[in-house]
Amino acid sequence: MDWCNETGYPDLLKTFPSAQQLLNQHDKSDNLQNDLKSVLVVVNNYPWIYGHGIIQRLYQPYFAAVIFCGSWYPDQIEDHDNYTSIIEPFNFIHMNSVEMRRGYSAYHCLTLAKEMGLTNVQGYFLMADDAIFNIWQKIDYSTVYHLTGVILEESEKFWYFDAGHLAALNVVKTFETSKNPKIQNAWQKFENGLEINGNRTLARKEMTSGKGRSYSEFYYIPNSEMEYYATLMRVFFENGLYLEIAVDKFIKSVKYEKFHIPEISYIWDDDSQKWDEKYSKTMVGFHPVKLSQFQNPGQNRMRYCRSILQTWADIMFKSSCSPTKNSSQKLKKKATTIKCFDSSMWIIITMGITTPFSLF
């Protein structure tokens, strides 16, 4: 609360219920129960400096684990205050700057998270550090979820870079010459998946088409698809394929769902300065909102408190959800109500210890 009060914005909640009330209400939410079985992997394209504490406070209570991925150098971390500093436990996967390549290899973070061997995991979310995930919105946890799906089918952007066509040629070479059964099976699944989704193009031709990409700052992979994802993406990573091309090829080969109005989930150019006006509680994900602009009290932090944090407080603590259409593409024709809970009831469960939660 004080973090927002420092900006002159005092309207967030000041009181919270007991831990037992929070726990009881927690158990009534199917959506949040699914999140508790899922892992959230938060990716930074550049070395982590600030924002991890904010992300922990928003998401760590609601997931089996929150794992930060990217270049992690403790001496570069800036903790400005007790409201945004690191909370223990803190989980991270270190990829050095050469491996991360300014975010070109962000998709590899899920592969590394999967290779940690976590048990009883239902699925994995990948979220950019400057994305917002509205966890009260429903998705189908049994299938791949991607905010936009395939919408840039004719785009040739990034294909002329080494991480585009040249990398794709090397990917094909790896798949076609490998004697590793896992890699062979993944290549066959890729081709079969293309055909099942109505694309009769051979895997080699699709992989080297020279066009097509998908924004990929937020997506979800169920555990049932993680072995395929990890195998495919490791080959992509080892050959230097660009993020938006890599994920585009993957989602073309699987069943997936997407947000029913994908165009509003991403803002660019002049709109990127109007993030507080463009953001909506009806979205599943939203990008970008740069956390670095909130390090010091001021107008930008006030805008963040007034829009995004106030929305979270209203929905998670005030039961202010209103009827909206379901966010799933498959279910978009069915008018539903977001399954809300009494938001003055919530909880943090960390390492088996139940504690009350205070938001900023």
120: number of Cβ within 10 Å: 7
Answer whether residue 22 shows pLDDT above 80. Answer: no
pLDDT tens digits for 275-322?
A: 999 999 999 999 999 999 999 999 999 999 999 999 988 887 764 333
Question: What's the number of CA atoms in the CB half-sphere (13 Å) around residue 83?
Answer: 13
pLDDT band at 325 (very low <50, low <70, confident <90, very high): very low
What's the mean per-residue pLDDT of the chain?
A: 86
**What is the tens place of the pLDDT at every residue in 198-248?**
988 899 999 999 999 999 999 999 999 999 999 999 999 999 999 999 999
pTM of the predicted model over 0.85: yes
Q: What is the pLDDT of residue 340?
A: 38
Q: Dump pLDDT digits (tens) for 112-171.
A: 999 999 999 999 999 999 999 999 999 999 999 999 999 899 999 999 999 999 999 999
Q: How does pLDDT run across 165-187, given as a tens digit for each residue?
A: 999 999 999 999 999 999 999 99
260 CB-contact burial (10 Å; exposed 0-12 / middle 13-18 / buried 19+): middle
